[in-house]
Amino acid sequence: MKLLLIRHGQTEWNKLHLLQGIHDTELSAEGMEQAKAAALSLKDTHIDVAFASPLKRTRITCGLLLEGRDVPVFYDDRFRERIFGEAEGRPIAELDLSETWTFGAKPKYEGMESTDEFYGRVAAGLDAIYASYPDSTVLLVTHGGVSVAVGYYFLGPPKSGSRKEYYLPNCVVREYEK
């Protein structure tokens, strides 16, 4: 399987550095343009099937990426962003996220999904895709946190020790193979 991983286009919350999580925010005008530019960069790339988070920002990005193509799209909750609970919508700079991505750590904020739960659901989604499409080129349109979990799935812990090694900026494509 060849996986083409792309993060959604920019949102207003991205611009304001607010923690989004599962809040269903829209793309900004710049995010729409990012998605259109990414579509152009992928125009000659064969894609057999696409999966996306069901949140608006990924659905819209996916639609723009595949506009005019006959590619089946499946929206899957396993690829929505991590649930950050009461931390969602707050300025990232004001939050203590020091242990947020540590395996085995107890979530610091009420309602936050643990790292183990989050990575587990993303891995289960990737396992299911691989089981159904082992010889296909798959587009996965998702979120920044999910991009980190996907990196761990394919490559293991980052060599630098920093999860940021796997974190995708808005509308950047990264390719993985299994």
95 CB-contact burial (10 Å; exposed 0-12 / middle 13-18 / buried 19+): middle
Active site annotation includes 94:
no
Give the β-pairing of 137-142 and 49-52.
parallel
Q: Which among 17, 26, 81, 143 is annotated as catalytic?
A: 81
Tokens of 90: 């707050």
Q: Which residues neighbour 128 within 8 Å (Cβ) at sequence distance 6 or greater?
A: 78
164 CB-contact burial (10 Å; exposed 0-12 / middle 13-18 / buried 19+): exposed
Active site annotation includes 23:
no
Alpha-carbon distance of 59 to 43, in angstroms, equals 18
Q: Which among 8, 88, 113, 143 is annotated as catalytic?
A: 8
Positions marked active-site: 8, 81
